[in-house]
Amino acid sequence: MIELTIDGLPVLVEEGSTILDAARFYGIDIPTLCHNDGLTPYGACRLCVVEIGKGENAKLVSSCTYPAEPGLVVRTNSKRVTEARKVLVELLVAMCPSSKTVQDLASAMEVKKVRFKVEHNDCILCGLCVRMCEEQMMAKAIGFVNRGKDRKITTPFDMKSDVCRTCGGCMYICPACELRCQGPDAETDLCNACLNVQPVCLKEEDNKMCFLGTCGWCYEELGRKKKK
Amino acid sequence: MKKIHKAADLKQIKENIIKNSGKGKTLITICGGTGCNASGCEKVISAFRREIKKQRLKDNVDIKITGCHGFCEKGPIVVIHPKGIFYKQVKPKDVKDILTETIVKGKIVDRLLYIDPLTGKKIIYEKDVQFYKGQKRIVFANNGLLDPYKIEDYFAICGYEAAAKALTNMRPEKIIDEIKKSGLRGRGGAGFPAGLKWESCRKSKGTKKYIICNADEGDPGAYMDRSLIEGNPFSILEGMLIGAYAIGANLGIVYVRDEYPIAVKTMKNAIEQAQKYGLLGKNILGSDFDFDMTIVRGAGAFVCGEETALIASVEGKKGEPRQRPPFPTQKGLWGKPTNINNVETWANIPYIIKKGSKWFASIGTEKSKGTKIFSLVGKINNTGLVEVPMGITLKEMIYSIGGGIPENKAFKAVQTGGPSGGCIPKELLETPIDYEKLKEAGCIMGSGGMVVMDEDTCMVDVARYFLEFLQDESCGKCLSCREGTKRMAEIITDITKGQGKEGDIELLTELAKVVKDTSMCGLGQTAANPVLSTIKYFRDEYETHIIDRKCPAGVCRDLYISPCQNACPAGMNAPGYISLIGEGRLTEALALALDTNPFPSVCGRICDHQCMFKCRRNQIDEPVAIRSLKRFIGDYEENGIEYPSIVYPKEIMPFKVAIVGAGPAGLSCAYFLARLGYKPTVFEKLPVAGGMMAVAIPEYRLPKKILQREIDNIKKIGVDIRLNTEVGKDITISQLWSQGYQAFFIAVGMYGDRRLGIPGENLENVIQAVDLLENINLDKPVVSPAGKKVIVIGGGNSAIDAARTMLRMGAKEVTILYRRTRREMPAYAEEVEAAEHEGVKLRFLIAPEKIFGEKGKVKSIECIKMKPGDFDNEGRQKPVPIQNSNFFIDTDIIIPAIGEFSDVSGLFTGLDVETYPDGTVKTDKHGRTSIPGIFSGGDVTSGPATVINAVAAGERAAVTIDQYFTKDRTRKYSWREHKKVDTYFDPEAEPVKYGMQKPKVLPPIDRKGSFEEVEMCYTKALAIKEAKRCLRCDLEIELQEKLREEKPLEVKR
């Protein structure tokens, strides 16, 4: 067993665990996006960064890949960590503002405004589908091509793959191509209402049933109108 | 070929090689490195071979094609041993002369010698060239001596002796200990101690281990690793052999870019030769150690220089890094412990083993040991590869070894560490080159790229360039690096296009910090450096781009109309009025010039014409004579041009503004205020208006009549000038305040002469230059220099003016003494030339020590000779006196002209206006002083500057004062808006090539005793001819706009 400290709490975990495993075991929440318990850690989304080390040597590392080491002092919610996560999630929203997963992450971090030019990508390049296809479906039908800003996920040579069984595992795990929330009018604004307010449609308006479920969008809208 | 089985065999082979090598023969080494190859060394080599055959010199000379010598700027380089005669830029046609003169007759071919740019002296021997003198070459030392395809050459210079020592006499732990003690740090950039890395790899569990040489050099402008492999691959092999033995690895891999075909070839050849000699393979040098090597060629991805990405690439996977730990020394190639070091690190190993860790640790600074090779490129005189000891300052590197900036331009920044490094400004040139110190400055050591940038570089554009590079080269795996570099590039590109927003700098900084903090590998972690360092040191440049929508360096094309207009401090529309002159529409041209400058005629004579230095016509033949053309329209009366009718302002502003000082700044401020409807009052202590223009510039450069006419024109639009009124003495600011003045513009200039501070300065006939010129201009009595000897001290424009004036007044002999060299004279080059034509003598590197008198009058002056000393941050060499070199010059009159100072204490009595220690007034960018309502500009805030700078300062102040009253920051000012002219220009037409039409000048013989103007005005025909030379850069933007309109918009999904 390895002993380390997370957020001031001494914890004991089995050898081979990552910081993320340790934190989750003790109920400490670290946001993740490209992580999935059934897949190998990838460390691409950087949302799970935590601060380790002291003074000048303090640095941010991705907790999903960093092995728990004896005596390690981890801070999962320091100022440096939260500020970094906010910018990262802002970058994610700017990439794919309609993804509910990304929106929820942003809401949880109280990011309400996106300062970058908004793009509407279908993919946030988290690599979940690639690992799903390779590790769980044993197909290896898709992978990354190109680098930098041209990076994308596709089949070899963009052709129909022979090894793809159209199992749909990639779509199942994708955080970008799932249920979309259209959000309030301005695309750079996030209302966060679903996470921050109780469902209120019925309270405010007698007969309205919202098809989106407990989103709270209308409540936000009402508040806006009242302000005007 | 005999295999080497033990150390003794090696010795034997070495002795044989030395015995058989041509004794008494002359050796000609020709550089075959990357740079010299590009300058055509191939042809020189074949010319040598041909010519040697033809002249039957085969028994007298040997030729050797070596690797890079380093001094790539002067390639192809030929060095003749054993003397070490250094010939630069050798062409095939020079080969014959080298052989017949130098080889046969033993003479030097003069025209091929290197000329030192600072001293102008010709240098014969390689060791005396300043570029080499400042270096300390260890790793690079043998590059110019051996043939990279012959391992025997390496044996001859004691090659593999270190390996023999290590493998036969040292235990692996001992070797690692030596490397640890030596303090060698990774030369790839991060500077991790090599010994610790080796130890960690040795201690890792597992029987199979690998070592890798990282030769994936990818920084733009860096080519030192390449040159090392191309010049001396054997030292790298030897280093790797020692390393493998110490670590316990049996396979070494050289990962080299496929874009380096010569490097691949030499390395492959070196491995084969080492295998043949048994220096790779089984039981090397009689030990029980086996080691072999292979080459893996990289496909040229920048990120593959990162060790985990490199390993992935060697394994045949996509070159992408993975999160460390585990480190490669624990789990690397194929999951086995792997030690990766840079080319230069490996190349250092044999020298450390051979000479000992103590020797190595004695070089460099406390934490950074040894030497480092840099590729010094960019705007630098001596482009090339330099190896210097750690701890040398950037200043020495750039000015001494690098030979300074070409064309005498000003240094702006140096970028170290490639695209992920940072930019270091002029102020930090004292920084020693050392891992920690560079990091403190916001930079990294990197693998050794060093790009020097001059005044023509836009730092925002530099950051944009590197970000573009990085966003292409980022592997794209982690979000922060991929999206972060993309977004940073996006924001910066917007800024360079004039679409920057307030808050952009803050957003960039915030984003950059996160990218630095959260990225997975070194690429992302350093990708923010170009942004952060340029923002840190050049924030004002970013602000100018965002707020003023201007690019001071004239690089960002969307932000300026034409290079000349961008260079002009007052932003005069030169292409506009020049094209109007070209069509003979002279009144319109004058109106356009007067729109931004009330002194076209004055500036047409004495401006320092920054515009002409940036003129694009210069790239074809010569710049357009913008200054002389301005004078042509400025002299409207003489040239029969109708003066444009004055449009009086519609609204009258009810605020009273007082302007103190009727110099160019004060009068310009009044001019622009009057055009806005104010009725400003100018207070001047002298009996004439015009400030320095009136009293410091001699008649032969600027006739009084011309100046007076321009001042009268300013008066006509509603400016009141009160002469003989000194504010602070005759009337105070508070008194003026009580008279209803609500805003004050202080533009009193610099008027006190700086004293020499040497004995005898108070003698009669020691006259300060400004006093002298002022008295002459105001018709006050001055000492007659007729038939006398005059000495002027100083190198500025007033020194030249004083000297030429004295000559005109009949002085027998006028000598200017200057303590620095001609190159560093602040006076305009054309003025210095004219003075020489007229007979003024110039003596450089001389400083006055003491003035001797007789009966209270000057008799002689004692001087001391100086020599150029250390460089300052501007690249000027501080003059140092040469001991006991004193000498005397007999003279009758001495005129010190070493600069001016200002004193505003009397003016601001009772007011708490902040000033700098040198007496200049502290203001912000807009001319606001620390007290609201008091503004300042011109020389009194900036120090001595030019008329056009003063005009710009006056205009700025007028706008600030107007905004102070109206409180409207969005107000439009008509003269600030670009005015398109409707002249005809065919952008397709090829420019007709003819040089600058120079106006006539008064012959020197006619200048004596006369104060007639030296330079004459253009005739109309000549002016039109000259104006037609303009290439109309201002139309570029208009054309682009037109093209953009024609192109259909890109459809976005």
- Residues B196-208 have a mean pLDDT of 92
pTM of the model: 0.86
d(CA A81, nearest CA chain B) in Å: 9
Q: Is a pLDDT exceeding 90 seen at residue A203? A: no
CATH topology of domain B656-751+904-973: FAD/NAD(P)-binding domain (3.50.50)
Reduce the secondary structure of B286-315 to three states and give it as a string.
HCCCCEEEEEEEECCCHHHHCHHHHHHHHC
Enclosing H/E stretch for B730: none
Reduce the secondary structure of B680-724 to three states and give it as a string.
CEEECCCCCCCCHHHHCCCCCCCCHHHHHHHHHHHHHCCCEEECC
Question: What are the residues whose beta carbons fall under 8 Å from the beta carbon of B733, sequence distance 6 or more?
Answer: B658, B727, B744, B907, B908, B911, B934
> Residue B376 phi/psi, 5° resolution?
-90, 110
Out of B23-27, B446-450, B530-534, B983-987, pick the least confident: B23-27
CB contact under 8 A, A149 and B474: yes
Give the pLDDT band (50/70/90) at residue B1053. very low
Please give the Cα distance from A50 to A30 (Å, whole number).
Answer: 8
The Cβ-side half-sphere exposure at B488, using a 13 Å CA radius, reads 37
Mean pLDDT, all residues of chain A: 82
Q: CA angle, B64 as apex, B59 and B65 as ends, to 5°?
A: 150
Instruction: List residues of B whose CB lies inside 8 A of any A CB.
Output: 301, 303, 318, 320, 322-323, 325-326, 471-480, 482-487, 490, 507, 510-511, 514, 517-520, 1053
Mean pLDDT, all residues of chain B: 89
Name chain A contacts of B520, Cβ cutoff 8 Å. Answer: 43-44, 46, 62
Per-residue model confidence as pLDDT tens digits over A119-128 = 888 889 999 9
Give the pLDDT band (50/70/90) at residue B536. very high
Q: SS3 helix, strand, coil % of chain B, rounded to 5?
A: 40, 15, 40
CB contact under 8 A, A147 and B519: no
3-state secondary structure of B318: coil
Give the pLDDT band (50/70/90) at residue B1052. very low
d(CA B337, nearest CA chain A) in Å: 18
d(CA B492, nearest CA chain A) in Å: 12
Nearest CA in chain B to A41: B323
Asked whether B921 and B936 are in contact (CB, 8 A), the reply is yes
- Residues B108-123 have a mean pLDDT of 86
- Structure-block tokens of residue B634: 């400025």
Give the pLDDT band (50/70/90) at residue A186. very low
% of chain A beyond a pLDDT of 90 = 45
d(CA A90, nearest CA chain B) in Å: 10
ipTM associated with this complex: 0.87
Name chain A contacts of B322, Cβ cutoff 8 Å. Answer: 43, 65
Number of Cβ within 10 Å of residue B628's Cβ equals 23
Residue B388: the pLDDT is: 93
Q: SS3 helix, strand, coil % of chain A, rounded to 5?
A: 35, 15, 55
Residue A228: the pLDDT is: 58
Out of B303-307, B596-600, B760-764, B1034-1038, pick the least confident: B1034-1038
d(CA A82, nearest CA chain B) in Å: 10
CB contact under 8 A, B487 and A116: yes
Among partner residues B326, B471, B479, which is closest to A91 by beta-carbon distance? B479
CB contact under 8 A, B476 and A150: yes
CATH tag, B371-559: 3.10.20.600
Residue A223: the pLDDT is: 65
The residue with greater pLDDT, B1049 or B579, is: B579
B371-559 and B656-751+904-973 agree in CATH topology = no
CB contact under 8 A, A65 and B479: no
Reduce the secondary structure of B806-856 to three states and give it as a string.
HHHCCECEEEEEECCCHHHCCCCHHHHHHHHHHCCEEEECEEEEEEEEECC
DSSP state letter for A109? T
How many contacts, defined by CB atoms under 8 Å, are there between A and B? 97
- Residues B847-872 have a mean pLDDT of 89
Per-residue model confidence as pLDDT tens digits over B79-100 = 988 888 999 999 999 888 888 8
d(CA A195, nearest CA chain B) in Å: 25
d(CA A149, nearest CA chain B) in Å: 6
Please give the Cα distance from B509 to B528 (Å, whole number).
Answer: 9
Enclosing H/E stretch for A225: helix A217-227
Please give the Cα distance from B122 to B126 (Å, whole number).
Answer: 11
Nearest CA in chain A to B325: A66
Name chain A contacts of B527, Cβ cutoff 8 Å. Answer: none
Asked whether B70 and B143 are in contact (CB, 8 A), the reply is yes
**Helix axis angle, B479-496 to B504-518, nearest 10°:** 160
- Structure-block tokens of residue B221: 């402008």
Per-residue model confidence as pLDDT tens digits over B218-255 = 888 888 999 999 999 999 999 999 999 999 999 999 99
- Give the mutation candidate from B473, B480, B499, B526 for the A interface (greatest A CB count, under 10 A): B480
Residue span(s) of chain A under CATH 3.10.20.740 come to: 2-77
Residue A136: the pLDDT is: 93
Name chain B contacts of A149, Cβ cutoff 8 Å. Answer: 471-472, 474, 476, 482, 486
Among partner residues A94, A95, A125, which is closest to B476 by beta-carbon distance? A125
% of chain B beyond a pLDDT of 70 = 99
Q: Is a pLDDT exceeding 80 seen at residue B1051? A: no
Question: What are the residues whose beta carbons fall under 8 Å from the beta carbon of B797, sequence distance 6 or more?
Answer: B826, B827, B828, B831
Among partner residues A47, A91, A148, which is closest to B476 by beta-carbon distance? A148
Give the pLDDT band (50/70/90) at residue A215. low
Q: CA angle, B142 as apex, B136 and B146 as ends, to 5°?
A: 160
Name chain B contacts of A67, Cβ cutoff 8 Å. Answer: 325-326
Q: Is a pLDDT exceeding 70 seen at residue B714? A: yes
Domain residues of chain B, as ranges? 7-133, 151-361, 371-559, 567-645+985-1036, 656-751+904-973, 753-901
d(CA A11, nearest CA chain B) in Å: 21
Domain A2-77 has CATH 3.10.20.740: yes
Please give the Cα distance from A162 to A157 (Å, whole number).
Answer: 12
% of chain B beyond a pLDDT of 90 = 52
Among partner residues A83, A95, A146, which is closest to B483 by beta-carbon distance? A95
CB contact under 8 A, A66 and B325: yes
CB contact under 8 A, B478 and A44: yes
CA distances from B801 to A218, B723, B808, B895 (A): 80, 26, 11, 11
d(CA B480, nearest CA chain A) in Å: 7
Longest dimension (CA), chain A: 60
3-state secondary structure of B383: coil
Per-residue model confidence as pLDDT tens digits over B933-946 = 999 999 999 888 89
Per-residue model confidence as pLDDT tens digits over B813-844 = 999 999 998 888 889 888 899 899 889 999 99
- Residues B40-56 have a mean pLDDT of 89
End-to-end, the C-alpha distance of chain B in Å comes to 69
- Give the mutation candidate from B483, B487, B509 for the A interface (greatest A CB count, under 10 A): B483
CATH superfamily of B7-133: Glutaredoxin (3.40.30.10)
Enclosing H/E stretch for B214: strand B210-215
Residue B240: the pLDDT is: 95
- Give the mutation candidate from A42, A69, A81, A115 for the B interface (greatest B CB count, under 10 A): A115
Q: Is a pLDDT exceeding 80 seen at residue B195? A: yes
CB contact under 8 A, B479 and A88: yes
Asked whether B89 and B171 are in contact (CB, 8 A), the reply is no
Per-residue model confidence as pLDDT tens digits over B474-531 = 999 999 999 999 999 999 999 999 899 889 999 999 999 999 999 999 889 989 999 9
Residue B398: the pLDDT is: 92
d(CA A112, nearest CA chain B) in Å: 16
Where would I find the H helices in B55-171?
Answer: 95-97, 130-133, 151-156, 161-169
Please give the Cα distance from B296 to B312 (Å, whole number).
Answer: 12
CATH topology of domain B151-361: Rossmann fold (3.40.50)
Among partner residues B323, B475, B1053, which is closest to A147 by beta-carbon distance? B475
Selection from B18, B23, B98, B112 nearest residue B60 by Cα: B23
CA distances from B710 to A153, B190, B762 (A): 71, 63, 39
Q: Is a pLDDT exceeding 70 seen at residue B927? A: yes
Residue B351: the pLDDT is: 94
The residue with greater pLDDT, B722 or A189, is: B722
Per-residue model confidence as pLDDT tens digits over A8-42 = 999 999 998 999 999 999 999 999 999 999 999 99
Per-residue model confidence as pLDDT tens digits over A124-142 = 999 999 999 999 999 999 9
- Residues B1021-1043 have a mean pLDDT of 85
> Residue B867 phi/psi, 5° resolution?
-130, 150
- Residues B705-726 have a mean pLDDT of 92
Selection from A54, A108, A117, A100 nearest residue A82 by Cα: A108
Among partner residues B474, B511, B517, which is closest to A148 by beta-carbon distance? B474
Name chain A contacts of B306, Cβ cutoff 8 Å. Answer: none
Name chain B contacts of A143, Cβ cutoff 8 Å. Answer: 318
Instruction: List residues of A whose CB lies inside 8 A of any B CB.
Output: 41, 43-47, 49, 59-62, 65-67, 80, 83-84, 87-88, 91-92, 94-95, 115-117, 120, 124-125, 127, 143-144, 146-151
Q: Is a pLDDT exceeding 50 seen at residue B998? A: yes
Domain B753-901 has CATH 3.50.50.60: yes
Residue A193: the pLDDT is: 58
Selection from B628, B578, B689, B572 nearest residue B1013 by Cα: B628
Per-residue model confidence as pLDDT tens digits over B337-369 = 999 999 999 999 999 999 999 999 999 999 899
CB contact under 8 A, A43 and B323: yes
Asked whether B154 and B4 are in contact (CB, 8 A), the reply is no
Q: Is a pLDDT exceeding 80 seen at residue A210? A: no
Q: Concatenated DSSP letters for B163-211?
A: HHHHHHH--HHHHHHHHHHHT-B-TTTT--BHHHHHHHHHHSS-S--EE
Name chain B contacts of A148, Cβ cutoff 8 Å. Answer: 471-476, 482, 485-486
Q: Is a pLDDT exceeding 70 seen at residue B709? A: yes
Name chain B contacts of A127, Cβ cutoff 8 Å. Answer: 477
Give the class (CATH, top level) of A128-173. alpha beta
DSSP state letter for B324? P
Asked whether B975 and B956 are in contact (CB, 8 A), the reply is no
